[in-house]
Amino acid sequence: MIQHTKAVTDRTEGMLPTFVGEVPRTASGELVERPYIAVYPADGIDTQERFTGGRRTQHPRFTLHIVGDSYDQVAMITRDLKARFIVNGIGVPLDVPGEKTLNLRWSSPEPIQWDRGVTPPVAYQVIELSFDSEPA
């Protein structure tokens, strides 16, 4: 799972601060400055084509939270981030050493929302990202 998470976070490099698992707080306990991306990895399900051998496929999946100060900011970041993973409707293979990635899927199942339980409130977009990965 670590190598898959690195492949995903490498795609955000130079765009925004990206945090895996937990977003840090400042010394005074406030959330870090926005905008940022929070990545929550899951190992997914591994499958095997047949019991006697053959292709083995991993299916890692991720939830990404794009967090910002406004709807427009989050919408633009979402658009720009999606372009790093999906081009002309087709998923761009990720660079995972020793593996071949296929079938990258990007989904934003919910509209941009507001979390008013923090001060100041933050806008955020939830993205579900998954792909298949086989030994190279």
| pLDDT, block means (10 residues), the chain with 136 residues | 94 94 89 94 73 72 96 97 96 94 93 91 96 89
Instruction: Please give the pLDDT value at position 135.
Output: 86
Q: If we measure between CA atoms, which residue out of 47, 51, 79 comes closest to residue 60?
A: 47
**pLDDT value of position 51:** 60
Specify the pLDDT at position 56: 72
